[in-house]
A and B are shown apart, each in its own frame.
Chain A
């Protein structure tokens, strides 16, 4: 530590100058060392304070020593003398002074760069931390998500894993370690109020697969992963701190989860976790010793590939196992069906599974940010070019007084460095603030969002951006300086304000800016249109003024379906009596919560088709008032009544999608249905009503999923969800959240050991489904707005310069009789050609990028011409306005003064 301090101190001493260093350097460093040792004895904190103070004092002294005597020095310095370091320091000082003298220019460049770099760095932080960085597990690249699909049954992927397959796959040589797990939510009670907590239930192998490290106690033993072993739990560091106040005697304490006591045997290290960063603890997933089935795809699986194995090899191995299943488990009907349905492994890298469809969004956003950054660079390059051109005369004088090309280059380079680095520094501050904002307001279902932060890679990226910005600032003037003959000193006052080459470069930059702005506007327009389409999607229910919450009754307390249904019926009754509640319903799966279980159906009296030729139908268990509480429209027949709810009838209600899939134009009412290859005990049920469709997985789904509604105490078909875990929907007067407390009281009056989970307005569920599109759209609109503003300013600057340069020529034209409108038209026509080139290129690029980013669009064809056309027309109008003002001024040039070189 001391040597680092000394090294920095030594650098700062050198900044004082060679002479100073020779006279005082060694003694000064000795003093710093001796004092630092004394400060160290007072502890690290005081040493750090001391070090900062010492370095600050040395920096201030250096600046004072170097700047003070020269503060009054003339702008045109004599030929540089002294050491290289001194020359550099002097150039920096002079550059900073020149920049301070032109505050508008400096501030414009600084803010443009800071905003553009900040946007790029923020987006890059998202891309890197979320999409590119490896998952936070050891050898994360070798982790794969074990998944299956049955394409002929309409499930391409996402079935998950079963216990039987887990046992089979554990023997495969392509895997190193394997674990089966499931994300769960349970009610904790015993200390204080009942609380819902998320947790992971996993086989003991997860500890090794995910590299879960323990700070106290131990992870599950293999014996604890078998049915009948003692109930244990390993808690996260966060839970240990928050719920148990970092109790040192935590091991052996008991956690009551859904009424079952679990002994705490370990605490994970801070930050350790898996699959769900909000999971508070892990409990073992107990597997039976003997298992005669291969089906039951109710779990998720993760495995680590052996070092030499590939994903393809794992697919081959797993598919070989699957091909052999029907011979080894002849009695397992489910696996037989699945194999007929084309069951195969869809294992993929765990990261792909975690990220889902996030990467295209992240890439689209960083692309937009980079476009804005490029536009900012073009604008800044333009400003620098103008600044440099206007200093040609000053430079001619400097050269005449003996300044070399190196000196002139250093002057430009130092200005560029100052602005680029200061802009970069400011940008890092802005980016870190922006990341805090993102963490606070981004939708919670963005994967890996909690890992978002600025790390050294992000800082390096920011540094590269800053350096790029420096190059963008300084490159053009430097090139011009080195490739052009120095301006003659004689006839300086006749020198044009800009050379023809500089004009061409600026016109090129202007066309590039128009291109990029048009590109971003088109993309933002497409995104907006796609979001509008999303808003227009009818979810099939009304979301306003509705409170939703989840109530899960424990199966050990309410063992039968009838008990659970009776409890929910009682709670529905209590809720209905609350003042302000108009209607209350409950469902096993809320729209937008996913597919849920289902089967292909058999229709009585009809030719039986094979399972793979029959569409899947998803089951929903609902209370009587579900349809009225959600305002799902009844199309024909009737909805459930009390007799249905009590399980006295065999009624079911279907939705229009199911009716169309199974009955087409024929009358669905009165038909009797049951699962095609379900349990032989499954009863035939009668269709009594048809209701409207509602969305299932998301608003962007293209085909409606057929749904079968079963009353609270109806059907005992194996795959229809039991009435234990239900989501309530209450139609209320006023703000739905005002009813949470009343609902909670009603629940605890029935059973205080059951928690009311996830209360929120139904609106929130709906906006969550739109959130990722909304955020992408908002960010793209922001980027496009900035781009449009920067582009407009760019056009204005270029045209103004062109007009200033052509003053004399325009003066001649006016003197020869050109009318103001002719002059204006000439300028506008000339600029329009450049703008048009930019627009055409931008539109072409936008068509290409819409094809690349198809996945992000909804209801918008990539070849949609309306948006590019609108953007092109608006761009033309804005560009005409941006050229119009300088052109208007050009028409009012006084020919006499212009020809005399006055203003």
Chain B
């Protein structure tokens, strides 16, 4: 799984969001380090949808906008995200044990 795909899953952790909100959330969370161009973002969204990790969702009534399309995590998406994070955590633990990475270090 690419980093961008994982970030898309993470963005949807709080509930359904549209493409623009996903992109903006990723950019803000990573402090601008990841700022996917629209084409790349939707490429990932399409692939995640095709793979059944996210699905089109109905908009929250407060933000209904016919042109917007909302996406939500599927159960499979949650599992895959969790598995991916677990995998990353293991990597981090190995890194700490081997003293390649200290807590709080960036």
- A56-64, A119-127, A727-735: which lies at the B interface? A56-64
Interface mask (A24-63 → B, CB under 8 Å = 1, otherwise 0): 1011111110110000000000000000011011111110
User: Is there contact, CB below 8 Å, between B42 and A34?
Assistant: no
A596 to B12 CA separation, bound complex (whole angstroms): 88
User: Is there contact, CB below 8 Å, between A24 and B40?
Assistant: no
Give the secondary structure class of A's interface: helix
Question: Contact check: which of B38, B40, B41, B46 meets A20 at CB < 8 Å?
Answer: B46
Which chain A residue shows the least CB distance to B20?
A: A31
Of the candidates B39, B46, B49, the one having the most CB atoms from chain A within 10 angstroms of its own CB is B39
Is A65 interfacial (CB 8 A cutoff)? yes
Interface mask (B55-71 → A, CB under 8 Å = 1, otherwise 0): 01000000001111100
Of the candidates A12, A26, A35, A56, the one having the most CB atoms from chain B within 10 angstroms of its own CB is A35
Of the candidates A9, A27, A28, A54, the one having the most CB atoms from chain B within 10 angstroms of its own CB is A27
User: Is there contact, CB below 8 Å, between B37 and A24?
Assistant: no
Is B77 interfacial (CB 8 A cutoff)? no
B23 to chain A: which residues have CB within 8 Å? 31, 35
User: Is there contact, CB below 8 Å, between B69 and A26?
Assistant: yes
Smallest distance from the beta carbon of A70 to chain B beta carbons, Å? 16
User: Is there contact, CB below 8 Å, between B37 and A30?
Assistant: no
B69 to chain A: which residues have CB within 8 Å? 23-24, 26-27
CB-CB under 8 A for A30 and B68, given A20-B46, A35-B20, A35-B23: yes
User: Is there contact, CB below 8 Å, between B39 and A24?
Assistant: no
User: Is there contact, CB below 8 Å, between B38 and A57?
Assistant: yes
User: Is there contact, CB below 8 Å, between A53 and B20?
Assistant: no
Of the candidates B20, B37, B43, the one having the most CB atoms from chain A within 10 angstroms of its own CB is B37
Which chain A residue shows the least CB distance to B66?
A: A26
Question: Contact check: which of A12, A32, A61 meets B40 at CB < 8 Å?
Answer: A61
Smallest distance from the beta carbon of A12 to chain B beta carbons, Å? 8
Smallest distance from the beta carbon of A11 to chain B beta carbons, Å? 13
CB-CB under 8 A for A54 and B37, given A26-B69, A27-B69, A28-B42: yes
User: Is there contact, CB below 8 Å, between A57 and B40?
Assistant: yes
Is B45 interfacial (CB 8 A cutoff)? yes
CB-CB under 8 A for A57 and B37, given A31-B23, A65-B43: yes
Which chain A residue shows the least CB distance to B71?
A: A27
Which chain B residue shows the least CB distance to A36?
A: B38
A58 to chain B: which residues have CB within 8 Å? 37-39
Is B78 interfacial (CB 8 A cutoff)? no
A58 to B65 CA separation, bound complex (whole angstroms): 23
A66 to B56 CA separation, bound complex (whole angstroms): 22
Question: Contact check: which of B19, B37, B43 meets A27 at CB < 8 Å?
Answer: B19
Interface size on A, residues (CB 8 A): 25
A27 to chain B: which residues have CB within 8 Å? 18-20, 67-69
User: Is there contact, CB below 8 Å, between B45 and A57?
Assistant: no
User: Is there contact, CB below 8 Å, between A60 and B39?
Assistant: yes
User: Is there contact, CB below 8 Å, between B43 and A64?
Assistant: yes
Smallest distance from the beta carbon of B72 to chain A beta carbons, Å? 14
B49 to chain A: which residues have CB within 8 Å? 23
B43 to chain A: which residues have CB within 8 Å? 61, 64-65
Smallest distance from the beta carbon of A689 to chain B beta carbons, Å? 85
Question: Contact check: which of B18, B39, B46, B56 meets A30 at CB < 8 Å?
Answer: B18
User: Is there contact, CB below 8 Å, between A28 and B37?
Assistant: no
Smallest distance from the beta carbon of A3 to chain B beta carbons, Å? 15
Which chain B residue shows the least CB distance to A58?
A: B39
User: Is there contact, CB below 8 Å, between B19 and A30?
Assistant: yes
User: Is there contact, CB below 8 Å, between B19 and A31?
Assistant: yes
A28 to chain B: which residues have CB within 8 Å? 19, 38, 42
Of the candidates B23, B40, B42, the one having the most CB atoms from chain A within 10 angstroms of its own CB is B42
User: Is there contact, CB below 8 Å, between B39 and A59?
Assistant: yes
Smallest distance from the beta carbon of B60 to chain A beta carbons, Å? 15
Smallest distance from the beta carbon of B26 to chain A beta carbons, Å? 12
A35 to B38 CA separation, bound complex (whole angstroms): 9
A60 to B19 CA separation, bound complex (whole angstroms): 19
User: Is there contact, CB below 8 Å, between A24 and B20?
Assistant: no
A32 to B20 CA separation, bound complex (whole angstroms): 8
> Which B residues form the contact surface with A (CB < 8 A)?
18-20, 23, 37-43, 45-46, 49, 56, 65-69
Report the 6 A-B pairs with minimum CB-CB distance, sorted nearest first.
A57-B39, A57-B37, A27-B69, A58-B39, A61-B39, A31-B20
Known: A24-B45, A26-B68, A27-B67. 11 other contacts (CB 8 A): A27-B18, A27-B69, A28-B19, A28-B42, A30-B18, A30-B19, A31-B20, A31-B38, A35-B20, A53-B37, A57-B38
Pairs A–B under 8 Å by Cβ, sample size 17: A24-B69, A26-B68, A27-B18, A28-B38, A31-B20, A31-B42, A34-B20, A35-B23, A54-B39, A57-B38, A57-B40, A58-B39, A59-B39, A60-B40, A61-B43, A64-B43, A65-B43
